[in-house]
Structure 1
Amino acid sequence: MSKIILPPPLKPGDLLRVIAPSGALREFAAFEQSLEIWKAHGYNIQISDNIDSRYGYLAGTDAHRCQQLATAWHDSDCRGIICARGGFGSTRILESWSWEQKTADPKWLLGFSDITALLWSLYKAGISGLHSPVLTTLANEPEWSIKRLFDIVAGRSVAPLQGKGWGGGKVTGVLLPGNLTVATHLLGTPLLPDLDGVILAFEDVAEAPYRIDRMLTQWRLSGVLSKVRGIALGGFTDCDAPPNIPSLSIEEVLQDRLSDLGIPIVSDLPFGHDSPNAALPVGVEATLDADEGILNVCC
């Protein structure tokens, strides 16, 4: 794809809007604590109306959640959009949503987990976002992870991430981080971006090993992995098999389904649902060193 557009660096005083495009907000104390972190860095934070709305497991109806996104996205004074939490629901609003690429006025979109669908569709529209803690998780991050997030949105460089290299050399490509389950459900849809030259960065939570196996097998059968230059694996939290049930471990599944692809792979990188969740910009150039176990973002 053409060169990605990186939103302008944020600066103290900038207006940032908080939206809930996915699951219903439940973790109110953590939400408030994370808001204070953003405010302490000097940002003007505006929370969308009725952000605590509920429609079953969703943070309101599709129309309500889509309107939150539209209001923030089309607000010329807004410099960034922070997602309240993940859960489920962002793909539902993408059925009727278009980013209407704003090359002259892009803005940051921040989140992870279910927000993967928004981040990947925004990337397909040519604009970078940030795979990062949401407002129900930021307060639980270690200091270095919080600093990393604010360094990235302010346009400052960040340190490489250290993981476990599987061997296979070093590669440079376009970084595309996200949740494995959400990304898998984009396969075969118009929302899936072109994966040519991409370094996939996957994490997940509460998925039994056989389900991770099933998803990775779908990726293999889809044929798209032939375009991918490397794979960076973060945390796979609470992905152990139930006790007393015969199973491969999550580590064995990842090795079994990925190690024969002939591309550099690094695992155990510090991003995902379990703290730390190191922020990763979407669509920027990155280098993955599978001999040294390093992921380095080049922006």
Structure 2
Amino acid sequence: MSSLTLYTPAGVLAQAQPLKRAAKRLGALGFEVSIDEAALAKHQRFGGDDETRLAALHRIAKAKPDVALASRGGYGLTRLLDGIDWKLMLKSVERGTRWVGQSDLSSLQLGLLAHAKSGHSPVSWAGPLACDDFGRSEEEGGVDEVTRDCFVEAMSGALEAIGFRTEAGFEELEARGTLWGGNLCVLTSLLGTPHFPQIKGGILFLEDVNEHPYRVERMLLQLQQAGVLGAQKAVLLGDFGGWRKSPLDRGYTLKSAIEAVRSRTKTPILTGLPFGHVRTKVCLPIGATAELYVQGRNAIVGWAAEHHHDPLREHGHEHGHGH
């Protein structure tokens, strides 16, 4: 049975029930679940003060669970980056802990890549958050089956590819490189800091929520002007929903924003990646060597699966690819 620890590294949990519900559901999936002692701590809008949340990260790294799943995102990890014991965190990855989450957790996942020794690429997982994805009540829609099954397969070491539909115009595209990325706002905020990974020839994936297309464009252009986009083999865009139209837009849309960025870089920018602040999301191994193939409008991102023995795979949740 795989051990899984729930913890709160960023925003506060307003209520305990979603976390308890997530723990119960994850237990039913075959995980041995524990909740970190500070998971329900509260300090202003954070899940405990900075020292409390930093101590939780280090405590979990030392405990070496198979999976460390963040309860939610929000904001708060940026405050911790300069104080994190990166050697300890990297050692936890080497010993098999999978740090899973998205949104604000992107800063931790990118930091792992930035602080790794040259030639080493620690793998963490962009994926669900405990409360958002496993803690909803049935009245709120419960658990998305694709998200659940993809997570279980990824944590068992069996997931080796995801597929999605993209726009026309990228037929026969092939790329191979380090898969990396996460939340666009968080990633852009790390530019110029010691916590931003210097990855060349990679496959960069990005998503965000509640950001108007002009803000998305501005951040993408910052990455382009900083030389980040041009250094990649491909860029994959996930979901960018939740924003509101403005009467000043006058036909300007997210598509307009993406086209403006495409006109300034030779790097292919594909849309349609099923990842972001949406109910149905895949899991992606940040730091793994991945291959991108496009046939027609069908895109596949694949990587080497771990294929180690895990009782979760015998729990009836292994399934095909193309989530």
TM-score normalised by the chain length of structure 1: 0.88
Q: Aligned residue for 1:245?
A: 248
Pairing 1:133–2:120 present: no
Map 1:13-52 → 2, pairs under 5 A: 14-26=2-14, 28-52=16-40
What do residues 256-284 of structure 1 show as CA deviations (whole Å, max 9, x unaligned)?
Answer: 11354222332022111011121111111
For the 8 Å contact 1:82–1:109, the answer to whether it is kept is: yes
Which has the larger share of helix?
2
1:154 equivalent among 144, 153, 156 = 156
Q: Percent of counterpart pairs with the same letter?
A: 27
Partner of 2:307: none
Q: Could you tell me which residue of structure 2 aligns to residue 87 of structure 1?
A: 74
Distance 1:30 1:161 in 2: 30
Deviation per residue, 1:134-185 (Å, 9 max, x gap): 0112235521221111111111134432131353422122111300000000
SS in 2 for 1:74: helix
Match of 1:4 in 2: none
State the distance in 1 between where 2:7 and 2:94 align: 23
2:122 equivalent to 1:117: no
Q: Does residue 97 of structure 2 align to residue 107 of structure 1?
A: yes
- 1:95-244 to 2 correspondence within 5 Å? 95-100=82-87, 101-102=90-91, 104-124=94-114, 125=116, 126-139=121-134, 140-165=142-167, 167-168=169-170, 169-242=173-246, 244=247
Q: What are the Cα deviations for residues 238-259 of structure 1, in whole angstroms up to 9, with x where unaligned?
A: 13433x2325211221221135
- CA offsets 1:177-211 (integer angstroms, 9 cap, x no match): 30000000011111011220111110100011221
Instruction: Note if contact 1:116-1:178 (Cα within 8 Å) is conserved in structure 2.
Output: yes
- Structure 2 letter corresponding to 1:105: R
Q: 1:97/1:281 Cα in 2 relative to 1: closer, same or farther (>3 Å)? A: same
The SS at the match of 2:238 is strand
Q: 1:123 to 1:187 in 2, by over 3 A?
A: same
Shift of 1:104: 4.9
- Helix, strand or coil for the counterpart of 2:63? coil
Question: What's 2:139 paired with?
Answer: none
| Total equivalences in the alignment | 285
Whether the 8 Å contact between 2:111 and 2:196 is mirrored in structure 1 is yes
Trace 1:261-272 onto structure 2 (pairs within 5 A). Answer: 261-272=265-276
Change (3 A) 1:215 1:142: same
RMSD: 1.9
Q: 1:193 to 1:46 in 2, by over 3 A?
A: same
- Deviation larger for 25-34 or 205-214: 25-34
Q: Distance between the aligned counterparts of 2:25 and 2:263, measured in 1?
A: 40
Q: Is the CA contact (8 Å cut-off) linking 1:84 and 1:136 kept in structure 2?
A: yes
**How far apart are 1:85 and its partner, in Å?**
0.3
Take 1:49 and 1:152, find their aligned partners in 2: how far apart are those partners?
Answer: 26
Contact 2:162–2:282 (Cα < 8 Å) also in 1: no
Look up the equivalent residue of 2:111 and give its one-letter code.
S
TM-score (norm 2): 0.82
- Whether the 8 Å contact between 2:161 and 2:300 is mirrored in structure 1 is no
1:295 corresponding residue in structure 2? 300
Which runs of 5 or more residues in structure 1 are unaligned? 1-11
Q: Is the CA contact 1:198–1:228 (under 8 Å) kept in the aligned structure 2?
A: yes
Q: Which residue of 1 aligns with 2:320?
A: none
Secondary structure at 2:54 match in 1 = helix
Matches of 1:112 and 1:197 in 2, distance apart? Answer: 23
Question: Contact 1:266 / 1:294 at 8 angstroms: preserved in 2?
Answer: no
CA contact (8 A) 2:54 2:80 kept: yes
Structure 2 spans left out of the alignment, 5+ residues: 135-141, 305-323
Residue 67 of structure 2 aligns to which amino acid in structure 1?
Answer: G
8 Å CA contact retained: 2:216, 2:257: yes
SS in 1 for 2:208: strand
Worse overlay, 42-51 or 106-115: 42-51
- Corresponding position of 1:67: 55
